[in-house]
Amino acid sequence: MIVTLFIPPTMDFRLATFWGFVGGVAGLALLVGGTFGVQAILIFKKQRDEVRKLYEPIKELATIKSGDTIKGKDINVSLMFQQLNSNPTREAERHNILDNVTFAHCNLHGPCLITFEGEWEISDCGFFGIGKIKANIPLQQATEGLGKFVHCRFRFCNFHNMSFYLTENNMAEFSKIRKP
């Protein structure tokens, strides 16, 4: 649009109108194109930041190690074991096993099939949408997709949408904990 200021006043009226119109259209096109380009760049940046924000808690789950205490987290247990399995520092035979970890005031979400081994403790926990307790499948057949909590403690946690694989020894103890 600034270019139209440089049209000489001696130019024919029709020619000056034409070039003024061309300059106005070009200026408007640059304005719209520049705005669209900036917004497109900002949208990609915003999407990248949102993905990082969503992935960060999941990425944090891969760093859980023996002896850790996890407090006040919402945890998708399936994703937690998936992240643990993707951690290259864990040995291959330790996949789907989480040992000696304390969960306090956490919400553990499924869908997931889990089992407890060793000395485990569940105190003051809630169970919501829990699936059938499975004890009739041999453990060798149930290992695919089974998350194992070995020597883990759960205090003031809530279990949502999960199924439990329990041995006969653990079945009676778990039945005392779980409210009917």
- DSSP result, 8-26: -TTS-HHHHHHHHHHHHHH
**Cα separation of 94 and 81, whole Å?**
11
Closest Cα partner for 117 from 97, 137, 140, 103? 97
**Cα separation of 124 and 156, whole Å?**
5
pLDDT tens digits along 72-94: 888 888 888 877 766 555 554 45
How much is the pTM? 0.59
Q: Angle at the Cα of 135 (from 129 to 164), degrees rounded to 5?
A: 30
pLDDT band at 164 (very low <50, low <70, confident <90, very high): confident
pLDDT tens digits along 109-149: 888 888 888 888 888 888 777 665 655 555 555 455 678 88
